[in-house]
Structure 1
């Protein structure tokens, strides 16, 4: 079997296509969560903590050239090493929200699966020696 034929069989299997669809939907869902965090949650969190804008929290690790404003974008453009921990906070909050949403989705799916009645367990098979003893017993009763 040629390599192209093997690749074709691999690529069109249901699992690979399901995975591809999941990755595409996950990417789109990630953008939605990014927007929720950046546009809805972080402004509220910033308001609670004194109008902080987490995206502009940073520590300068090098020397700042003269005339460069002390903003994250300007320092990065000037090539100054910057520890942008505010961006990390935003991404960590984003991850926590996404993980919580996925947890809630899985919890609901599991709840729906549990609501289906479980099939009754099959009666255990009677061992052969018990069957023979029953036959003997029944024949003695006659």
Structure 2
């Protein structure tokens, strides 16, 4: 059983998957930073300087003047601003992954397959064609 596990764990696909997960985690942090530090401030500026991260609806009657962290400590909140940020994050990440897959597919399809050489005509077919042509004359 240990030998089978060793064979499974050292296969290229498993190692490739592990590398992909690690790179994906690091890439997720980059996208989080892009959304939180670049995209959302611009979107907030377009909507009058709004900071989406602090948008919430209090669920227990507390004041909506508190920051999100303070409001969470005071009771339940519906943090829709955070949801907007995470949704934009997902859309950007999905778009980037789509572009990467599209590029890989394009690179795979660029190599034209060599045209198969026509099969040589068998001798008996050639002989039958000659007989047919002679009979037509």
Tell me the TM-score normalized by structure 1: 0.80
Alpha-carbon deviations, 1:62-99, whole Å to 9, x = none?
A: 233x9xx6221012123x11111111100110111111
Extract unaligned runs of 5+ from structure 1: none
Structure-2 residue corresponding to 1:50: 48
Match of 1:70 among 66, 70, 81: 66
Note the C-alpha offset of 1:132: 3.8
**Partner Cα distance (2:61, 2:7) in 1:** 57
Match of 1:107 among 102, 105, 130: 102
**Partner Cα distance (1:71, 1:97) in 2:** 27
Alignment length (residue pairs): 133
Note the C-alpha offset of 1:16: 0.5
How much is the aligned-residue C-alpha RMSD, in angstroms?
2.6
Structure-2 residue corresponding to 1:38: 36
Q: Verify: 1:83 aligned to 2:78, yes or no.
A: yes
For 1:102, what is the secondary structure of its paired residue?
helix
For 2:127, what is the secondary structure of its paired residue?
helix
Note the C-alpha offset of 1:100: 1.2
Extract unaligned runs of 5+ from structure 2: none
